[in-house]
Amino acid sequence: MGCKIRQRVRSFPEGFGIRPMLVFEGDLDGNGTDEFGILDTWVASALRGYEVYSFHNGEWRWLIPRVRTAESLRASGKELVKPGNCPGEVQVVFSDFDSPLSSYSAVPDKDTVIVATFEKIDPLPI
C-alpha cells in the first residue's frame, strides 16, 4: 500500500548568504509541529543570523524574530534555541551586540524566553 501526499509544503523563503545551514529543531513551542532553523553564513563576518521557521496554517512563518549570533556563541556549543517551560515559549540564546561590553572579539551572550509569534514572511522582490 502506497503513501498518500496530504499536503505539499512550499519551499523556504530565499535570501541567505553563501551556504545557509539547515537545522532541525523539533517542536520548540509545544504545538505539535516541528520547527527548522537556518543559520546564515558569510565568508568574512563574525555575525550570523539565525532564523527559526514553522509551518503554520499552510505556510512557512517565522516562529521568533531573527536571532543575531557571534562566532564565539556558535563555537561555544550552546543551543541557540530550545523549548521553553510553557507552551508557546521558546528559550533563546543570542549575542548582545548592543551591550556596552561588546566588541568584535568578545560579545556577551544573552539568554531569554520569547513567545512564538508566527510572523508572516514577506516575499523578497526579484
Nearest by Cα to 61 from 93, 28, 84, 83: 28
Query: Which pLDDT value is given to residue 114?
Result: 93
Given its phi and psi angles, is residue 16 left (phi above 0), alpha (psi -120 to 50 degrees) or beta? beta
pLDDT at 44: 64
Region for residue 72 given its phi and psi (left: phi exceeds 0; alpha: psi -120 to 50; beta: otherwise):
alpha
Helix runs in the chain, H state only: 71-75
Instruction: Kindly report the number of other CB atoms within 10 A of residue 50's CB atom.
Output: 23
Could you tell me the pTM of the whole model? 0.76
Please tell me the predicted confidence (pLDDT) of residue 24: 93
Which residue in this structure is represented by grid cell 496530504?
6
Instruction: Please say whether the beta carbons of 99 and 114 come within 8 A.
Output: no
Burial of 44 (C-beta count, 10 Å sphere; 0-12/13-18/19+): exposed
Q: Which of 40-49, 86-95, 100-109 shows the lowest per-residue confidence on average (mean pLDDT)?
A: 40-49
Query: What is the per-residue pLDDT across 7-34, written as a single tens digit (0 to 9) for each?
Result: 444 554 555 556 678 899 999 999 999 9
Residue 49 is predicted with a pLDDT of 85
On whether the CB atoms of residues 28 and 35 are closer than 8 A, the answer is: yes
Q: Is the pLDDT of residue 89 over 50?
A: yes
